[in-house]
Amino acid sequence: MAPASAVDTSAEAQVCTPSERRCSPSDPQLVERCNANGTAWLSEVVCNAASGQSCGPGGQCAPACQLAAAAKGSTGCRFWAVDLDNAFVPGGTQSYYDGANAPFAVVLSNVSASLSAEFSITSNIGPVLLDGKSAPLDLSPIPPLGLRVLYLPARNVEGTTQDPLAYRVDTTAPVAAYQFNPLENVGVYSNDASLLLPEVALGQDYIAMSRAQSFTILRGFLTVVATSAGTTQVQLTFGPTTLQTLGGTAKALVNGQLSESPIASYTSNATAYFSLLQGDVLNIETNKVGADLTGTRVHADHNVAVFAGSEAANAPDTIQCNVSKCTESQRLTGSKCGVCQGDKKTPCHSNEHCSQFLVCCADHLEMQLPAVSQWGSDHVAVKFEPRGKEGDLWRILAAQNDTHLTFDPVPTDSLTGQPVAPAVLQAGGWVEIDTRDSFEVFSAFADGTPAPVMVGHFMASQDSPGPGEQAGDAGTGDPAFSLAVPRAQCAAYHVFSVPPKFASSWISIAGPSTANVAVDGETLPSTAWKPINSTHKFARLPMAPGTHRVLALADPSGSSAKISVEVYGHDQYVSYAYPAGMGLVDLGLGKGK
């Protein structure tokens, strides 16, 4: 064998730049340096795991939490969780529909293969040491790639309120964090889950996405959490479909005494102002059937966490009377100038005229929302694993005026059988698509520059496409709320958890047509993939409860594709869904428009 100095150093033989440093692909603690000839990577130093260090950009050892913060993704070391308002419907001698009082849980997945993660949970009254049944929480360190399920004491958000109800989660190593409301589906008939976003990635400007209030006592909500020390000023500008919000009470401790003040009821396009202290939860709920907080703007002078959803809502929203084309005089006189969403032709003036189109059943919805600056202009939308002939609901929300939507391929509307037409949206406006298809959606201004949108993904009700029970119904599950991840915010690596006690759980993976992907160490065969269009493909896989890893494998050049992963599951009249992870980089779309 020739000595190292005699090895061919031509461009074909070189694999790196001499003296270049990198993190080892096989060991996140190991720093490697390129040899003098550029022909091999050599081990140089092992980052100190005991002090919480890991290898970062440029092959530099640094605190893992610092590296996670710089990466601006959904893994991190501080999160805020909220026991959001869930459905409670009494019946007879016992509650048969009680998601509100079912166990609320936070789940932490340690994403490091080498670092243990110590953690703490704090509320406004101090460290949380006991679970919801007053038993000691397991606060031992989470091992590398380990999972910890934490059933927390109930801090139910109820109605319109301002109250210091938030939980703060701190860790010594990066984790992926989720909240399940509740975690177990048994006997509650109302649940969902949310990916939690790290504090360092929060913003000051948001636009809410929710769903219309379907029933008198099951309301939509918008929730703002103050995360900064001191006072945070919050301004809400309610969207045009808000109709009416529920009045409530703001609670605070003043000199050790409970102080209460009223929160007014607001109508469409109204503006409201609130002062929040760290850990305060401001929750605004709708108070009229048909009221929808989608399009409501949130502006704060410090970073805040924002959630939105519903105690329980229907999808598809077939009992809605669409009066968007009615004149003001027609609305005031009660003219049946609208059409029911159920068939898009039955005349109506209010939802009462469309009750025959109700698709059972409603379910709890919740999702923590990204700031507007993190929205994208190119989203791959993958249908949930089909349960029957049901469609999925995709709600596309615009941040700015003159936002043009186009599709590839063009999806077919589940109700009409017609192709979905391109749309032009104004700021805070949205379009909802009911389709059985997967597709890619692009958003741009008239001049072709990218326009920011948020794409919500809603699972359809168990009796969908309905109404009533019939052959081809979904047959299991109910509405759940997730988000399609912008292509610019996709990642090469995802660690996530799948909850227990659901009849079926799945993941959907979307990525470039050339991507090679491994799930829990096993490379997916080509037969697992289906094309979306000429540039993207998707795969859907059943998943067992527990922690899972999805990795886009490096190509010969060392580059890895960016992929999205959506996690979801269902059982009789219950479901959950959430993106496994997402980038939270400020994409800067639409600035100057």
pLDDT tens, position by position, 88-139: 666 544 445 655 566 789 999 999 988 999 999 999 999 999 998 999 999 9
What does the pLDDT read at residue 3? 41
Rounded percentage of the chain residues whose pLDDT exceeds 90 = 69
Amino acid (1-letter code) at residue 164: P
Map tokens 């080892």 to a residue.
24
pLDDT at 72 over 50: yes
What does the pLDDT read at residue 328? 77
pTM above 0.75, yes or no: yes
The residue that leads in pLDDT, 380 or 342, is 380
Least confident of 7-21, 77-91, 173-187: 7-21
Largest CA distance in the chain: 94
Residue 454 CA to residue 437 CA, distance in Å, equals 19
What does the pLDDT read at residue 190? 66
Average pLDDT taken over every residue of the chain: 90
pLDDT tens, position by position, 520-567: 999 999 999 999 999 999 999 999 998 899 999 987 766 789 999 999
pLDDT at 515 over 50: yes
Residue 561 CA to residue 378 CA, distance in Å, equals 16
What does the pLDDT read at residue 212? 92
Residue 554 CA to residue 561 CA, distance in Å, equals 7
CB atoms within 10 A of CB 9: 14
pLDDT at 5 over 50: no
What does the pLDDT read at residue 184? 66
Q: Which two three-digit tokens encode residue 365?
A: 């919805």
DSSP letter at 141 equals: P
Residue 90 CA to residue 111 CA, distance in Å, equals 41
pLDDT grade for 327, boundaries at 50, 70 and 90: confident
Find residue 508's DSSP bridge partners. 540, 566
pLDDT at 492 over 80: yes
3-state SS of the chain: helix, strand, coil percent to 5? 5, 45, 45
Residue 399 CA to residue 376 CA, distance in Å, equals 10
Least confident of 62-66, 488-492, 588-592: 588-592
What does the pLDDT read at residue 176? 95
pLDDT at 591 over 50: yes
Least confident of 2-16, 69-83, 119-133, 280-294: 2-16
Highest mean pLDDT among 317-326, 353-362, 417-426: 417-426
Q: Please state the φ and ψ torsions of residue 241, each to the nearest 5 degrees.
A: -100, 10
Residue 492 CA to residue 313 CA, distance in Å, equals 34
pLDDT grade for 517, boundaries at 50, 70 and 90: very high
pLDDT tens, position by position, 426-462: 999 999 999 999 999 999 999 999 999 999 999 988 8
pLDDT grade for 187, boundaries at 50, 70 and 90: low
Residue 130 CA to residue 128 CA, distance in Å, equals 6
